[in-house]
Amino acid sequence: MRKRIREYGITLGLLPTGPLNAITDVEGVTVGHVTLISGEGKLIPGKGPVRTGVTAIVPHSGNIFKEKLIASCYVGNGFGKSIGLIQVKELGTLETPIILTNTLSVGTAADGLIEYMLSFNEDIGITTGTVNPVVLECNDGYLNDIRGRHVKKEHVIAAIKSAKNEFETGSVGAGTGMICHGFKGGIGTASRRIEIGGKVYTVGVLLLTNYGRMEDLIFNGKNVGRMLKEEIKKGKEAAKEDQGSCIIVIATDAPMDAHGLERVAKRGVLGLAKTGSFMGNGSGDIAIAFSTANKICHYGEPVMEIKTISPHSGDINKVFQAVVEAVEEAVWDSMFTAERIVGRDYHEAPLLPVEKLAEMIRQD
């Protein structure tokens, strides 16, 4: 088991973390994975090798269709195949878990999520409207038989039902076949604590990292990627091209309205920039943000009251800072904790040489 970045005594940012330094530090949020690994060797489309999976972010423990959360999203670069973002942006609410998977499994994942939601909401489509499934993706085709569409509905439902407070990061779930800055990437997470009006709030993020070039990788403003690339050349050569996308899921218990959460989501891509991302032409860099502070009753009164941080208060800057810091650290978390994956046609992304990186950092 590879260690997280802070276990090496390396810190990023100024704000304190939550106890788990994870998105699940936001009370009520849980995360589940289903990891699919089978076969080896030459690619036979439809049969494998399989290096993919599903990750589910469950925003609260109740019935999220009947108790929706305020949410919004931001598209940094739109080379993506997500489902559900249009309604999230239009209505400012989230009414399902958030599912992450590979690009060609988005349709199946949405089908599985819909089936899950219908299973305990008998009114959907009969006495009330339909449901808006939220599914986001990255392309794991370099390591995985992506054409085989090995993710099934039951895997989506299992990921949701397995969601818990403590979860693995790195080469798990949707992150199984992902590559970040030329190194093995995948699932990363981090959190920050802030104080506003005498009350402590938490901002947590979960990332699916599958973007960037090795030579652009930055740590605390220093280009470490070029130096690390020299180390990698001594062994297996890394993939040279930008591998694609990054999905950013942001959760907070700070009270916010949809417009405020859109502003928060925008700051997510700043965290990517601090690691060396320029959001390339073929990248789907998408952030979705939600707050657990207000629940919107599906059958509630026509006029509702919510609490929100004032946009005219300087305290909103604390939330922005927390997001940028947490996203930057979550990128590194995804690489530090990633395990070796040999994929289809023996493709492989090297593991981040964490000891060498730690040595570089200590020398500064």
Please list the active-site residues: 245, 283, 285
**Residue 312, burial from CB neighbour count under 10 angstroms (0-12, 13-18, 19+):** exposed
Give the phi and the psi of residue 55 in degrees, each rounded to 5. Answer: -125, 135
> DSSP letters of 131-174?
---EEEEE--TTTS-GGG----HHHHHHHHHT-BSS---BSSGG
Q: How far is CA 231 from CA 5, 219, 224, 294, 361, in A?
A: 19, 17, 11, 49, 15
DSSP assignment of 249-269 equals EEEE-S---HHHHHHHHHHHH
Distances (CA, A) of 352 to 110, 206, 224: 33, 19, 11
Instruction: Evaluate whether 92 touches 257 at the Cβ level (below 8 Å).
Output: yes
Cβ proximity of 169 and 4 under 8 Å? yes
**CA pair distance 101, 20, nearest whole angstrom:** 24
CB 76 within 8 A of CB 285: yes
Closest Cα partner for 134 from 89, 190, 78? 89
Name the one residue in this structure whose structure tokens are 């569409």: 149
- The secondary structure of 40-53 as a DSSP string is -SS-BTTTB-EEEE
